[in-house]
Amino acid sequence: MADRFDLRRDITFGTKVTRAAYDEAAGRWEVRTATGEEASARFLVMATGCLSVSKRPEVPGLERFRGAWYHTGHWPHEGVDFTGQRVGVIGTGSSGIQAIPVIAEQAASLTVFQRTPNFSLPAHNGPLDPETQRARKANYPEYRRRARESGFGIPVEPATASALETDEEARRRAYEERWRRGSLTAILTAYTDLLVNREANETAAEFVRGKIREIVRDPEVAETLSPRDHPFGTKRPCLDSGYYATFNRDTVTLVDLRKTPLVEITADGVRTTGREYAFDSIVFATGFDAMTGALTAIDIRGRGGVSLREEWAQGPRTYLGLGVAGFPNLFTVTGPGSPSVLSNMMVSIEQHVDWIAGCLAYLRERGLTAIEPTAEAQDAWVRHVREVGDLTLYPMADSWYMGANVPGKPRVFMPYIGGVSTYRQICDDIAAKDYTGFTLSA
Ligand code: NA7
């Protein structure tokens, strides 16, 4: 891509941006990197990612550990060979759940430290048959249109029935058929009320728990793996290849951190309140400072030297997840307050990039040099994002959507759950009405 579009001359590789300050007099962003390099630009597009700043567990002692350790978010490109090793994995989100079966195949022994059990569905990964490939490729434009017009950015038939109004046997058949599809959204989108009604949700949750009991031979282990503290889908469901069955291996042990919490990393391994475990390698699958972490890691200063980090101390505030009042000419791709992580990221990234490009062209054509959300428009959008979120079950989970995985992070539901189709319409309407809610100036 870089060569085809002759982009290399505009890219500086291996640099880290540490500061970006808006110079009001010049109407430009002054950007500084860790190596002291400086750049000046009228517009600043933050494409820093929603899950790019990793976090470790909040326990002391890692510097003492004599073995090797890895974070799933920074996996060595050359791969890791765990053959013959005693391995500990901390964390059972998507990354842990995908890594655990693979590590278990190599390791002499594997100990999994679980704080919260997650719902995981079979990925059914495998080669696609040529006919499926041909059919999809023949219909790319149509497929992509349906993705743009969907709720999660993934084409699905919208649900028409309520789970509670469907009889138990029909519901079980529907879940069973969707369990076999290898899809993240198939079960979640089976009925209209799964994300808004706890009782309806419980039918799907119990279906998955039933699967765990079927797969895992030891009933106590099965129960420890069964999520009961959050509704199905309110934490990102995981997709796995043989996750639950991995716990049938003699070499794999599950440690319930709710019963025996982590205390420290020692020279030899991991200590919980129960005992110490010795390892050759530890894998941290402990996730990310999601959505805001990469933005607040940079010292971003807007109008009057105001710090984005301080502005967002009580939670992120944006207009459309695209711009921030007080920070002219700053755009955030898939920022908090947009569908972002609650959608197929490609669809949402493309929409934001197109919208930003359209906005820049609009400004240039009219000789305008600055755009900034008004405080009123931002307040109204933040309220709308919260109100829509509150209609759903999402706020009930201690999820990274809520900032709950990072100690001290404010508890705010960060993405916009109005759906990518609705959201796109809102953004397009705003652009068509000469960017209502933004102040434009020359
Ligand atoms: P996640 O989904 O945030 O998972 C992180 C896991 O690590 C989760 O099980 C956490 O438990 C656990 N964790 C985090 N901190 C600790 C501490 N201090 N002690 C014990 N356990 C801890 O990150 P992933 O990388 O798996 O997935 C991120 C997204 O990437 C995923 O949702 C997909 O969208 C793709 P917790 O649940 O917080 O109790």
Which of 57, 80, 54 has its CA nearest to residue 67?
A: 80
Q: How many angstroms separate the alpha carbon of residue 2 from the centre of ligand 1?
A: 33
Q: How many angstroms separate the alpha carbon of residue 163 from the centre of ligand 1?
A: 29
Q: How many angstroms separate the alpha carbon of residue 118 from the centre of ligand 1?
A: 9
CA 77 to CA 287: how far, in whole Å?
A: 18
Classify residue 16 as exposed, middle or buried by CB count within 10 Å of its CB (0-12, 13-18, 19+).
exposed
Question: Atom 12 in ligand 1: which residue has the minimum CA distance?
Answer: 91
Kindly indicate the confidence band of residue 158, based on its pLDDT and cuts at 50, 70 and 90: confident
Q: How many angstroms separate the alpha carbon of residue 47 from the centre of ligand 1?
A: 23
Expressed in angstroms, the distance from the first to the final Cα of the chain is 34
Question: Atom 29 in ligand 1: which residue has the minimum CA distance?
Answer: 94
Q: What is the pLDDT of residues 26-45, one digit of tens each?
A: 999 999 999 999 999 999 99
* CA angle (5, 11, 14) in 5-degree steps: 135
Q: What is the pLDDT of residues 326-340, one digit of tens each?
A: 999 999 999 999 999
Kindly indicate the confidence band of residue 124, based on its pLDDT and cuts at 50, 70 and 90: very high
Token pair for residue 433?
A: 């009405």
Distances (CA, A) of 319 to 53, 353, 358: 23, 16, 17
Q: How many angstroms separate the alpha carbon of residue 151 from the centre of ligand 1?
A: 25
Question: Atom 10 in ligand 1: which residue has the minimum CA distance?
Answer: 91
More confident call, 57 vs 387: 387
Question: Atom 38 in ligand 1: which residue has the minimum CA distance?
Answer: 405
Mutate to test the pocket of ligand 1, among 51, 92, 224, 286 (most ligand atoms within 8 A of CB): 286
CA 311 to CA 326: how far, in whole Å?
A: 9
Kindly indicate the confidence band of residue 372, based on its pLDDT and cuts at 50, 70 and 90: very high
Mutate to test the pocket of ligand 1, among 70, 74, 113, 115 (most ligand atoms within 8 A of CB): 115
Q: How many angstroms separate the alpha carbon of residue 91 from the centre of ligand 1?
A: 5
Q: How many angstroms separate the alpha carbon of residue 4 from the centre of ligand 1?
A: 38
Atom index in ligand 1 nearest the CA of residue 72 equals: 25
Question: Atom 23 in ligand 1: which residue has the minimum CA distance?
Answer: 287
- The whole-number pLDDT of residue 157 equals 87
* Helix boundaries (H) for 46-164: 94-106, 130-138, 140-148
215 in Cβ contact with 183 (< 8 Å):
no
Question: Atom 25 in ligand 1: which residue has the minimum CA distance?
Answer: 287
Q: How many angstroms separate the alpha carbon of residue 372 from the centre of ligand 1?
A: 35
Residue 390 has phi, psi (to 5 degrees) of -70, -15
CA 353 to CA 49: how far, in whole Å?
A: 13
Kindly indicate the confidence band of residue 100, based on its pLDDT and cuts at 50, 70 and 90: very high
Phi-psi region of 212 (alpha: psi -120 to 50; beta: other; left: phi over 0): alpha
Q: How many angstroms separate the alpha carbon of residue 430 from the centre of ligand 1?
A: 36
Question: Atom 20 in ligand 1: which residue has the minimum CA distance?
Answer: 115
Distances (CA, A) of 33 to 18, 24, 141, 250: 5, 20, 40, 50
Q: How many angstroms separate the alpha carbon of residue 235 from the centre of ligand 1?
A: 10
Mean of pLDDT over the chain: 97
Which of 50, 150, 47 has its CA nearest to residue 418?
A: 150
- Site residues for ligand 1, CB cut-off 6 Å: 51, 57-58, 72, 90-96, 115-116, 236, 257, 262, 285-288, 400, 405
Among residues of the chain, what percentage have pLDDT more than 70? Answer: 100
Find the length of the chain: 442
Question: Atom 28 in ligand 1: which residue has the minimum CA distance?
Answer: 287
Mutate to test the pocket of ligand 1, among 51, 94, 402 (most ligand atoms within 8 A of CB): 94
CA 397 to CA 117: how far, in whole Å?
A: 12
Distances (CA, A) of 356 to 71, 76, 331: 33, 34, 7
Beta bridge partners of 21: 30, 301
Atom index in ligand 1 nearest the CA of residue 91 equals: 7
Q: How many angstroms separate the alpha carbon of residue 387 from the centre of ligand 1?
A: 26
* Helix boundaries (H) for 306-371: 308-311, 345-365
For residue 421, pLDDT over 90 is answered with yes
What residues contact residue 4 under an 8 Å CB cut-off, 6+ apart?
A: none
Q: How many angstroms separate the alpha carbon of residue 20 from the centre of ligand 1?
A: 30
Report the amino acid identity of residue 412.
Answer: V
Kindly indicate the confidence band of residue 361, based on its pLDDT and cuts at 50, 70 and 90: very high
Atom index in ligand 1 nearest the CA of residue 284 equals: 7
Which of 286, 234, 205 has its CA nearest to residue 401?
A: 234
Distances (CA, A) of 259 to 262, 328, 372, 398: 10, 49, 50, 18
pTM of the model: 0.94
Q: What is the pLDDT of residues 423-441, one digit of tens each?
A: 999 999 999 999 999 999 9
Kindly indicate the confidence band of residue 209, based on its pLDDT and cuts at 50, 70 and 90: very high
Site of tokens 């990310």: 288
Atom index in ligand 1 nearest the CA of residue 236 equals: 32
